[in-house]
Structure 1
Amino acid sequence: MAVAIAVTRERRDGETRCALTPETVKKLTALGATVTVEAGTGLGSSIPDADYAAAGATVAPDTKAALAGADVLLKVRGPTAQETSALRPGAVVVALLDAYREKETVAALAGAGVTAFAMEFVPRITRAQVMDALSSQANLAGYRAVIEAAYAYGKGFPMMMTAAGTVAAAKVFVMGAGVAGLQAVATARRLGAVVTATDVRPASKEQVESLGAKFVAVEDEEFRAAETAGGYAKPMSPEYQAKQAELTASHIVKQDVVVTTALIPGRPAPRLVTAAHVASMKPGSVIVDLAIDNGGNVEGAKAGEVATTPNGVKIVGWTNMAGRIAADASALYARNLVAFTGLLVKDGALAVDLEDDILRAAAVTHGGAVVHEGVRG
């Protein structure tokens, strides 16, 4: 029998993305799979049910009908308790599980005998690039962060010379030059801002400068060794953090817009911008905290809202920034999922091979147990 793939509506607050698009439905059916989509799945991304049906999917009226007989459930966020209980033992779930924090969801999946894969754990190796959902979503989030900053900022970004005088370019400081940060740098540059950026990873300096921005960091021996083999930032020593904080304080006071993007896998987001930093900024300045979903980089940031400080600085704390550009975010994430699902389907049948290095790295639950060492610990 063909592999039965199901997609259900996202029910987490504020989640506008969906796990499959009509384009990717066609790709999955070409693999020999059947696809069932719950009615209303694509509404947040402006995809009507009729488009899924035209692409070859069956549109089910509700969650129970969508999951009946499903071998694989594809999601953006982790499944609800209702969805997990409707899955048969041995079924597969693939989603952005937020596995370090969503312990109850992980435990429920293990208890149900479901094999669950977390897209955030896909290794950053060449073979897995097309499956890198963190990068696809961070890219869009970095772009949208600058758009949100421009909206909140009471002035223009580019220098403009007019008969009435010259308008100075906005000064934008991006903290964290990973995928989201580099896209924020590129977007701010395209809008005409004067851009600086910082990161603790030495490789980021060349990347920032290649985009026409200036790199700002304490470049000592610890800085030159501050990157893991996987390309992530390492936690820095208190001594380095103090030196970097002093440099940040002297730089941030001159900025009009600050975008923070720093994350450390499995840990709360590091605090980069303190209340003192915020208090030093000019009235009308804007800070966008892209790490708010993981606790935030900015003191005073409030998840899901724009906070205005007593000195008139706006701190943008929108959660799920990629979801604010839902159509593109869904399209890219769905392609990530299809590439990953290709590892699970062999000759039209479900074949979960945990000897595959990508599947092994992304596996969170299997055989009734939590198998990911970092999550289990």
Structure 2
Amino acid sequence: MKIAVLKEEADGERRVSATPETVRKFIGLGATVAVEAGAGANASVSDADYQAAGATTGPRAKVLAGADIILGVQGPPPNSLAGAKQGAWLVAGLNPFGERARVDAYAKLGLEALAMEFMPRITRAQSMDILSSQSNLSGYKAVLDAAAEYGRAFPMMMTAAGTVSAAKAFVMGVGVAGLQAIATARRLGAQVSATDVRSATKEQILSLGAKPIFVENVAGIEGEGSGGYATEMSEEYQKAQAELISSHIAKQDIVITTALIPGRPAPRLITDAQIATMKPGSVIVDLAVEQGGNVEGAVAGEVVARHGVKIVGHRNVPSRLAADASALFARNLFNFLSAFWDKEGGLPQVDDEISDAVRLTRGGQVVNARLLG
């Protein structure tokens, strides 16, 4: 079994899909590992580190030759996979909805493309979930990015010259990223509040020492979708939520938005009119900016100002913590492949529930139900 580790080609992508730690583990399972030269450089991993772990390094053509499994962080351009073995697995974050043409191209190449972001949110797959591991870092980094743009301190400080008030931080969307954002803002000393359309998150917010901000007067709307994601709300709920948020957001110094709905544009949570009510010098970080954004006026890849408020729209936030993000991502891939490893040397034998979820292509065809529906 040969595993190929590719150097990422997407703009701004600093992560790598395998680390010396996971290389050693794959070799311990009986695999050989080939790493494209320079693949780990942006994540502080040298070719020598991979070689010391037992991998070979070299140009892409040599790395791909005869590989049974190809690992990546983002899906590689199909034209860069010349010489890949028919039937080889491509295991990466493939953005199936946003890059459907690329998925079709993988099928034509005869690859079995497995999208790790389609991993079902079930207990036995938690350690394989790239969305959770990377979102955790995104929530942490969002708070640091907000602090870097905010012109004041986060914690309350009592000095001989007077008292500095604590920053007020509001987190919108209490998934993995939102929970980490709450915890990080609390550690930095901010007064933190949070909201979500899923009423079950109230206890999680309280457990982190933050204040829940919820619509209480609209009954029967829980917001819980499949896999723990939020669903779209009724017009009645959206109106009530907008009124509540408008009154709350005007008092905040920091707002972090994290709301995503799989396969759809990110829901709009903050309007330009609401931004105009915030104090000059306030900061909003939109973690959904690459999916259309939760914040009106947010621009992917830029920090913009509206009404004296900075709106941070960094792309690929986990990649801004490349070393740790790579370590977690690489473990997700190893946990997935090793859980179904074939000791006889064949491709891993993934059970139907997981394989049906993550497999996009097989036998030259797109086979995933979410792409065919």
- Is the pair's TM-score, using the shorter chain for normalization, greater than 0.5? yes
How far 1:286 sits from its partner (Å)?
A: 0.2
2:26 to 8, 25, 28: 28
How far 1:347 sits from its partner (Å)?
A: 0.7
Which residue number in structure 2 is paired with residue 357 of structure 1? 353
Which whole-Å CA distance do the structure 2 matches of 1:216 and 1:86 have between them? 55
1:69 to 66, 70, 78: 66
Which residue number in structure 1 is paired with residue 255 of structure 2? 258
How far 1:352 sits from its partner (Å)?
A: 4.8
How far 1:38 sits from its partner (Å)?
A: 0.4
Which whole-Å CA distance do the structure 2 matches of 1:132 and 1:242 have between them? 34
How far 1:345 sits from its partner (Å)?
A: 2.9
Which whole-Å CA distance do the structure 1 matches of 2:350 and 2:361 have between them? 11
How far 1:57 sits from its partner (Å)?
A: 0.4
Which whole-Å CA distance do the structure 1 matches of 2:50 and 2:241 have between them? 50
Q: Which runs of 5+ in 1 are unaligned?
A: none
How far 1:24 sits from its partner (Å)?
A: 0.5
Which residue number in structure 1 is paired with residue 161 of structure 2? 164
1:97-119 CA distance string (max 9 Å, x none):
11111111101111111111111
Q: Secondary structure, in 3 states, of the residue corresponding to 1:116?
A: strand
Which residue number in structure 1 is paired with residue 318 of structure 2? 322
Which residue number in structure 1 is paired with residue 120 of structure 2? 123
- The total of aligned residue pairs comes to 372
TM-score (norm 2): 0.97
Q: Does 1:82 align with 2:79?
A: yes
How far 1:342 sits from its partner (Å)?
A: 1.6
1:283-323 CA distance string (max 9 Å, x none):
100000000121111111111110012x2110000011111
1:275 to 264, 272, 275: 272
1:258-284 CA distance string (max 9 Å, x none):
000000011110010111111111110
84-93 or 156-165: bigger deviation = 84-93
Which whole-Å CA distance do the structure 1 matches of 2:83 and 2:236 have between them? 51
What letter corresponds to residue 290 of structure 1 in structure 2? L
Which whole-Å CA distance do the structure 2 matches of 1:240 and 1:95 have between them? 37
Counterparts of 1:1-377 in structure 2 under 5 Å? 3-60=1-58, 62-219=59-216, 220-223=218-221, 225-309=222-306, 311-353=307-349, 355-377=351-373
Which whole-Å CA distance do the structure 2 matches of 1:84 and 1:181 have between them? 37
The answer as to whether partners of 2:342 and 2:349 remain within 8 angstroms in 1 is no
Aligned pair in 2 of structure 1 residues 366, 352: CA closer, same or farther (>3 Å)?
farther
1:142-199 CA distance string (max 9 Å, x none):
0000000000000000000001110000000000000000000000000000000000
Q: Which runs of 5+ in 2 are unaligned?
A: none
The answer as to whether partners of 1:354 and 1:360 remain within 8 angstroms in 2 is no
Q: Secondary structure, in 3 states, of the residue corresponding to 1:35?
A: strand
How far 1:86 sits from its partner (Å)?
A: 2.9
How far 1:82 sits from its partner (Å)?
A: 2.5
Which whole-Å CA distance do the structure 2 matches of 1:28 and 1:9 have between them? 18
Which whole-Å CA distance do the structure 2 matches of 1:264 and 1:193 have between them? 28
Which whole-Å CA distance do the structure 2 matches of 1:303 and 1:206 have between them? 32
Which whole-Å CA distance do the structure 1 matches of 2:50 and 2:240 have between them? 54
The answer as to whether partners of 1:149 and 1:287 remain within 8 angstroms in 2 is yes
How far 1:84 sits from its partner (Å)?
A: 3.3
Which whole-Å CA distance do the structure 2 matches of 1:82 and 1:33 have between them? 26
82-91 or 279-288: bigger deviation = 82-91
Q: Secondary structure, in 3 states, of the residue corresponding to 1:177?
A: coil
62-71 or 20-29: bigger deviation = 62-71
The answer as to whether partners of 1:232 and 1:264 remain within 8 angstroms in 2 is yes
Q: CA RMSD in A?
A: 1.2
Which whole-Å CA distance do the structure 1 matches of 2:26 and 2:113 have between them? 19
Which whole-Å CA distance do the structure 2 matches of 1:231 and 1:86 have between them? 40
What letter corresponds to residue 105 of structure 2 in structure 1? A
Which whole-Å CA distance do the structure 1 matches of 2:24 and 2:10 have between them? 27
Q: Secondary structure, in 3 states, of the residue corresponding to 2:35?
A: strand
Which whole-Å CA distance do the structure 1 matches of 2:349 and 2:50 have between them? 30
TM-score (norm 1): 0.96
The answer as to whether partners of 2:172 and 2:259 remain within 8 angstroms in 1 is yes
The answer as to whether partners of 2:253 and 2:283 remain within 8 angstroms in 1 is yes
* Identical positions, percent: 59
Q: Secondary structure, in 3 states, of the residue corresponding to 2:360?
A: strand
Runs of 4+ more than 6 Å apart: none
The answer as to whether partners of 1:70 and 1:91 remain within 8 angstroms in 2 is yes
What letter corresponds to residue 346 of structure 1 in structure 2? D
